[in-house]
Chains A and B, each alone.
Chain A
Amino acid sequence: MRRLVEIAKTGLTAILLHPLRSSVTFLALMAILTPYLTGIGLAKGIEQDAKSSLRAGGDLYVSGSQFGRNSSLPTTLVSRIRELDGVAEVVPRIVGRLVLGREHVEAVLVGIPDSRFPASVSCIAGRLPRAGGTNEFVVGTELARRLKLKVGALLPPFYRNPRGEHVSKTVGIFESDVSLWQSNLMFSTFETAEEIFDQEGMATDLVVHCQSGYVNNVSSAIRRMSVTSPKSGKVIRLMVTSREELNVLLAEGQFHREGIFNLHFLLVFVIGILVILITSGLGLPERRREIGILKATGWQTDEILLRSLVESFLLSVGGASASILTAFVWLKVFNGYWIAGVFIPGVARAPSFPVPFRLTPVPAMLAFVIALAITMSGSIWSSWRAAIVPPDEAMR
């Protein structure tokens, strides 16, 4: 046992014998693992926020469809759904896209009836919008930064409505840590959103809260309802999305993280080959000679393989640990500067909100296994090839 430990200690010696080779391997491992851990950390953080979005949201979301595409719904549907057995509350909602200013800043306008607003909230610096008079908004942090908006700032008319356009007022700014989705948000009353989009009596979706045990019945009853568009008189098909469906979607999400990770696999492939070439000692006859000398002085093939294994293990542990620390510092201290914009489309280089992230042990272990597999696939085979030839041939 003691001999095995002594041999294992020479694994560290093997790292120090070729500092350039070890450094390049270490840096290449970091180049592979840091983006992977950062991306997974962000994905987990977003997943946590999405869970909150599902938990605090409605049981059912009703939207309309015409020609297989989304369409708005008449608000008259609200009272019909309210009459169904098991329905606790129905909230009409407008969620739409706006482009503001000369710089074409993207904004998401959300309108909710002010009767649904709580008396006070802690997620807003300022106050909630009020209906009537001036259009009042609560804006997200990124929008406030880009449009240089502060509480009390006025916005010139930015929309078209035949009944006239009004100046809008910023009455609050969302707290930056409540969610990443607040960043480009403009939140207002339902009436204001109707006026901005010039869609009186229409909602983009209805949020339905059900009594416990009634969700499936209510969902079926809503799907069977017949609705016509108040303008064209044509049929609007109703689509219902339940919280359960979204929970399933969230669980399946971890197997569908294709996006950026396809690019990452390419990175792993390209840099991984470099690591394998370096660790296999290509262009490094000195390493082969070393093994020959060790064989000549009485080392067995399995001892040489153990030495090589320990060397790969230490490089992998070092690379994985440094990558975990780099990912943590990058996301926590530097708030995902630049990398958050790469992984979350639409986010600025320096995000105006704390980027959501969560580093968990499983991806960290996976990072270590990837590192070990890459380094070992280069070193073990080449060490074994050098160890099985006669020492004088290896030393030549």
Chain B
Amino acid sequence: MAATVEAQRQRISMPNQRLRLLVSCCLAVSTVSASVVLVQEWFSQDDVAARRDEFQSLMGGLGFGSTVDLSECSFCFDPRLRRTCAHVEGPIPAGFFLCSKHVGCVTGYPHLLPARPTEADANDHAASR
């Protein structure tokens, strides 16, 4: 019994040394590589920033969300084109959750609420009365 326990203990504490070294190296290499990727990404320069700004300047600012066309939901493309998801105005209550552009996208933002009347608006309203 004692010999069996000792053999098992040996097996538990000393497995294949070569395999152990290999796994240690793999772990170290993957950790260092991942760190290098993160650091490189963090300090990376945006090479096409000027060209991107030129494009946006030409368009007057276009695109905001994670879709590339206006089918179904232009709010998901750019809230400047539509302030809410089209499904909010649809016949189905809570239809927002059925919008295929929202279900599948990685970016999300709240709907643009109508602007609140300012003091100047209130004064104008009072003057008109």
A47-B107, A52-B53 known, 12 other contacts, Cβ within 8 Å? A43-B106, A55-B53, A97-B69, A121-B58, A123-B58, A181-B62, A205-B80, A249-B112, A250-B64, A293-B5, A318-B30, A325-B34
Instruction: Determine whether A80 belongs to the interface, using a CB cutoff of 8 Å to chain B.
Output: no
Q: Is the CB of A56 within 8 A of B15?
A: no
Bound: A122/B30 CA distance, A = 39
| Chain B 33-48: CB-based contact to A (< 8 A → 1; otherwise 0) | 1100110011000101
Residue of B nearest to A317 (CB): B31
- Provided the pairs A293-B5, A321-B30 are in contact, do residues A260 and B58 lie with their beta carbons within 8 angstroms? no
A305 CB to closest chain B CB (Å) equals: 16
Q: Which residues of B contact A240 (CB under 8 A)?
A: 115
A327 CB to closest chain B CB (Å) equals: 9
A183 CB to closest chain B CB (Å) equals: 5
Residue of B nearest to A39 (CB): B106
| Chain A 2-15: CB-based contact to B (< 8 A → 1; otherwise 0) | 00000000101101
Please tell me the size bucket of the interface on B. Answer: 35 or more
Q: Is the CB of A53 within 8 A of B62?
A: yes
Instruction: Determine whether A346 belongs to the interface, using a CB cutoff of 8 Å to chain B.
Output: yes
Query: Chain B at the A interface: mostly helix, strand, loop or mixed?
Result: helix
Report which A residues bind B (CB closer than 8 A): 10, 12-13, 15-17, 39-40, 42-43, 46-50, 52-58, 61, 63, 68-70, 91, 93, 95-97, 106-108, 110, 112, 117-118, 121-123, 142, 174-175, 177-185, 187, 204-205, 207, 216, 219-220, 223-224, 239-241, 245-246, 249-250, 252-253, 256-261, 263, 289-290, 293-294, 296-297, 314, 317-318, 320-322, 324-325, 328, 342-347, 358-361, 364
- Provided the pairs A205-B80, A249-B109 are in contact, do residues A17 and B42 lie with their beta carbons within 8 angstroms? no
Q: Which of B24, B61, B83, B112 contacts A56 (CB 8 A)?
A: B61
Q: Which residues of A contact B8 (CB under 8 A)?
A: 289-290, 293
- Provided the pairs A50-B64, A175-B51 are in contact, do residues A293 and B12 lie with their beta carbons within 8 angstroms? yes
Q: Is the CB of A359 within 8 A of B38?
A: yes
Q: Which of A13, A112, A241, A290 contacts B59 (CB 8 A)?
A: A112
Q: Is the CB of B15 within 8 A of A17?
A: yes
Q: Which residues of A contact B92 (CB under 8 A)?
A: none
Bound: A251/B70 CA distance, A = 23
- Provided the pairs A106-B69, A239-B114, A360-B41 are in contact, do residues A181 and B106 lie with their beta carbons within 8 angstroms? no
8 A–B contacts, CB within 8 A, in A order: A17-B15, A110-B59, A241-B83, A261-B106, A294-B12, A318-B27, A342-B104, A364-B38
- Provided the pairs A42-B106, A344-B67 are in contact, do residues A178 and B48 lie with their beta carbons within 8 angstroms? yes
Q: Which of B60, B76, B83, B124 contacts A207 (CB 8 A)?
A: B60
- Would you list the 8 A-B pairs with minimal beta carbon distance, nearest first? A57-B61, A181-B63, A56-B56, A256-B108, A106-B69, A321-B34, A97-B70, A207-B60
Q: Is the CB of B34 within 8 A of A178?
A: no
Q: Is the CB of A118 within 8 A of B58?
A: yes
Q: Is the CB of A178 within 8 A of B55?
A: yes
Q: Which residues of B contact A178 (CB under 8 A)?
A: 48, 51-52, 54-55
Q: Is the CB of B77 within 8 A of A344?
A: no
B116 CB to closest chain A CB (Å) equals: 11
* Residues 61-85 of B at the A interface (beta carbon under 8 Å): 61-71, 74, 76-83
A294 CB to closest chain B CB (Å) equals: 7
Q: Which residues of A contact B129 (CB under 8 A)?
A: none
Residue of A nearest to B24 (CB): A12
Q: Which of A220, A241, A246, A359 contacts B121 (CB 8 A)?
A: A220
A148 CB to closest chain B CB (Å) equals: 18
Bound: A294/B27 CA distance, A = 26
- Provided the pairs A56-B57, A97-B71 are in contact, do residues A224 and B124 lie with their beta carbons within 8 angstroms? yes
B34 CB to closest chain A CB (Å) equals: 4
Q: Which of A70, A95, A364 contacts B62 (CB 8 A)?
A: A95
- Provided the pairs A106-B71, A123-B51 are in contact, do residues A328 and B82 lie with their beta carbons within 8 angstroms? no
Residue of A nearest to B80 (CB): A61
